[in-house]
Amino acid sequence: MYKGGYAGKILRIDLSKQSAKEETLPEELAKNYLGGAGFGIKYLYDEVKPDTPALDKANKLIFAVGPLTATGASCSSRMAVVARSPLTGAVGMALAGGQFPAEMKRAGYDMIIIEGKAEKPAYVAINDGEVKFRSAEKLSGMMTTDTQLFIKEELGDHNYRIACIGPAGEKVVPMACIVNERRAAGRKGLGAVMGSKNLKAIAVRGHKRPDIADAESFRKARQAMNKAMKDSPVLYPHFAKAGTPMVVDAMTEMGIYSIKNWSATGQINMVPGLGLKAQDEMIITRSHCHDCPVGCSQVKLVTSGPYAGYLSEGPEFETTYSLGSTVGVDYLPAVIAADRLCDEYGIDTISAGVAIGWAMELYEKGILTKKDTDGIDLKFGNHAAVIEMLRKIAYQEGLGALLGQGTKKAAEKIGKGTGDYAMQIKGLELPAYDVRGAKAHGLNYATSYTGADHNRGYAFQEIFDIPIPEKVDRNATKGKGRLTKWNQDTRAVTCDCATMCAFLLDMAVPAIACQNTADLVNAASGMNFTAEDIEKIGERLNNVARLFNIGAGFSRKDDTFPRRLMTEPIKAGASKGQLISQKDLDEMLDEYYAERGWDKNGTPTAAKLKELGIK
C-alpha cells in the first residue's frame, strides 16, 4: 500500500446531478499506471466507449497529477488532462504546468473526473475537499484572465488556482484549450470538451501537504536529481537563460525549422526576427512552475509600436513557429500579441497558427479569395490578418468557423486537393520540427496516440546530439522504430505519468530518468518500483492508449504523414533534399510495430497485452 506521495483520493464530479463523491485511490492503479496521464487514460479506457462523440456528455474530462506533485520534488507541478479529443477522435491528453497542479494535490486529490453536463454554465470550487457548484452564467464569453479574476473575487479568496476555458471553449471550438494562469493544457481541443459540459472553470485551494514515506531517502533522491540537473551542460547554462526559443536558432541551422506552412523550410531564415537574440530583448522576467528551480518560461512584453502593452508567457518555441514562421511572420511583437490572444480566447496556439498558415497558402494559391476571408488579405506575413483570424476562430466567424474545426475537417470541406497541404496527422496539426529532416521525430508524430504531437516521444537525440540510449543519424530511418518506442515509453512514464517536466528528461537525466523516477516515487510513496517497472508503465500506457484508438477506428493507415512531406523534398538549407517517402514510412512502421510487439496493422498482440497485464 502506498504510504505517501499520493493524496490517496479521486474526486468524481457529476455535473448533471451537481454531485461530487470521493473514491479511494486504488493501489493497483498506482502500481500499474503511476499517476497523471496513466491514471487519466486508464479511466478513459475503462469508462468511456471509444466511439462516444467527444462533445457528448458521456465523454469524461479527467485532471490527474502525479505521485511527486507538491512533494517538493523538482519540476513536478504538472498535470495531465484527458478526454476523447474532439479534434482527432483519438485519446486527447495534454499536460500543463504552473501552480494549479500542486494546488489540486494540496486540495486533496490525485485525480478529478468530470462527468455529465451542467444544465447551465457552471464552475466548480474545491477547497480542501469541500466541493461547491456555482453558476458561471455571468462569466459566459469572458476571456480567461478576467474569468479567473471574477471567480477569485466571487469566492472571496484570490489565492484559488483556476483552470478555465475562454470564449472558444464555450463555443466548443475543437481546438479550444484549458488555461490556468498563463499556462495551458493546449492541444487536442480539451477546452471544447470542458465547454460541452457547460463547465467554465475548476477552482482549487488546498493546504494539505502529501506525506513522504521515507524522508531521508526522498532527500537523497531529490539531491541526486538536482545534481543531475546541475551537471547538465545544457539545462542551467543555456536552457534556464534562453528557454525553448534557443531551439529556433539550432533548428534553423539544421534546416528543419518549418516555414510558411512547410512550403519554405530552409529557404527563408526567420531567425533575425524570431530567434534567440530577438526573443532575449523582449524578456522582462522568468516564470517558475511550482517547485521548479529552472524557470525556463519567459515573460515577454511589447513596450512600443502597434502591439504595445501585450504580454505573454512565451512565445515558447512552438508558438514562435505556429504564430510566427509558419504564417510567415517574423515580427516578434505580433507573435507575442497573438500568443496572448490565444490564451485569452482559450485556443491552442499550434493548431490555430498552423490552420491559418494553411489558409494563407490556399489564399496565395488562389483557392481561397477575399470573398472567403471577409475581405482579409490573408497573405503570408500579414500579422494583422493573423490576429483577426484568431478572433474569427475563437468566435466561429466566417472562415474562422471552418479553420477552428482543424485542417483535416476543413480540407475535407474545401476539397480541391487542399488536404495535401493540411499539416496534420490524425487531425492534430504538426508541431515545428520539419520531420523530413528528423526521422524519429517523424515516426513519433505518425504513431503518437494523440496525433502529431512532439510531446509524446520527443527525439532529443536528433536535436541535441545526445547519444542516449544510442547515437543516431537524424536522416536515417533504420533504428528509428526502436528509438521511438524507447522515447515514447520513457517519456510517457516520467513526464506524462510521474508528471515531471519534459525538459528534465531531455536535458538532464535521460540516461537515468527511469531510475531517478523510481527512486523519487519509492521514497515518497513507500512503493518498490525498479527502473524496469517504471519503463514498463510507460509501455503499458502507450498500449492502453493504442487500444482506445483502435476502438475509435484508428489503425496503421492513420500512422502517416501529410502528402506534402512524402512527395516534396525540403528545397534548401542543411536538410535540402530530405523527404520521408512511403517506403521510408513503411520500413519505420514495420520496425516500430515489431519493437512494440504489435502486428503489421499496429494492433497489440495478445501476448503483449498479457505481458503488460492489460485486459
What residues line the site for a copy of itself (CB under 8 A)?
138-143, 145-146, 149-150, 152, 157-159, 166-167, 181, 284-285, 299, 301, 303-304, 306, 308-309, 311, 344-345, 391, 394-395, 397
Least distance to a copy of itself from the beta carbon of 207, Å?
A: 14
H/E stretch holding 244: none
* Among 81, 29, 105, 58, CA closest to 613: 29
CB of 147 to a copy of itself, least distance (A): 10
Alpha-carbon gap, residue 539 to 317, rounded angstroms: 28
Q: State phi, psi for 492 to the nearest 5 degrees.
A: -55, -45
Q: Which is nearer to a copy of itself, 310 or 445 (CB)?
A: 310
Q: How far apart are CA 222 and CA 516, in angstroms?
A: 9
CB of 599 to a copy of itself, least distance (A): 49
Q: Which is nearer to a copy of itself, 342 or 497 (CB)?
A: 342
For a copy of itself, give the closer residue by CB, 394 or 565.
394
Taking the complex as a whole, the smallest distance from the CB of residue 205 to a copy of itself amounts, in Å, to: 11
Q: For cell 463547465, name the residue.
A: 199
Q: Which is nearer to a copy of itself, 252 or 287 (CB)?
A: 287
Closest approach, Cβ 348 to a copy of itself, in A, equals 17
Q: Please report, for residues 205, 426, 433, the alpha-carbon distance to residue 452 in angstroms, rounded to integers and kept in the order given.
A: 34, 7, 11
Q: How many CA atoms lie within 13 A of 309 on its CB side?
A: 2
* Contact of 513 with 521, CB cutoff 8 Å: no
Task: Write down the least CB distance from residue 158 to a copy of itself, Å.
Answer: 4
Of the two residues 101 and 451, which places its CB atom closer to a copy of itself in the complex? 101
Residues whose CB is less than 8 angstroms from the CB of residue 589 and which lie 6 or more positions away in sequence, other chains included? 443, 446, 447, 481, 556, 559, 602
Rounded to a whole number of angstroms, the minimum distance from the CB of residue 386 to a copy of itself is 15
- Dist CA 542 CA 535 (whole Å): 11
Q: Residue 52 is placed in which grid cell?
A: 462516444
First and final C-alpha spacing in the chain: 23
Task: Considering the complex, state which of residue 303 and residue 369 has its C-beta at the smaller distance from a copy of itself.
Answer: 303
Choice between 19 and 303, CB closer to a copy of itself? 303
Q: Which is nearer to a copy of itself, 3 or 152 (CB)?
A: 152
Tell me how long the chain is.
Answer: 615
Least gap, CB of 340 to a copy of itself (angstroms): 10
CB nearer to a copy of itself: pick between 376 and 472 = 376
Task: Output 246-252 pairs: Cβ under 8 A, ≥24 positions apart.
Answer: 246/276, 247/317, 247/463, 248/274, 248/275, 248/276, 248/279, 248/317, 248/320, 248/321, 249/275, 249/276, 250/463, 251/432, 251/433, 251/463
Tell me the one-letter amino acid at 34. L
CB nearer a copy of itself, residue 56 or residue 146: 146
Characterize the bridge pairing of strands 61-65 and 79-84.
Answer: antiparallel
Q: Are 176 and 346 spatial neighbours (Cβ–Cβ below 8 Å)?
A: yes
Q: Which residues contact 443 (CB under 8 A, 6 or more apart)?
A: 480, 481, 484, 588, 589, 592
Q: Cβ distance 215 to 200 under 8 Å?
A: no
Task: Tell me how far, at minimum, the Cβ of 148 lies from a copy of itself, in Å.
Answer: 9
Cβ-based nearer residue to a copy of itself, 150 or 464: 150
Give me the least distance between CB of 289 and a copy of itself, in Å please: 12
Q: What sign results for the dihedral spanned by CA atoms 398, 403, 409, 411?
A: positive
Closest contact distance (angstroms) between CB of 149 and a copy of itself is: 8
- The CA distance from 81 to 76, in Å, is 15
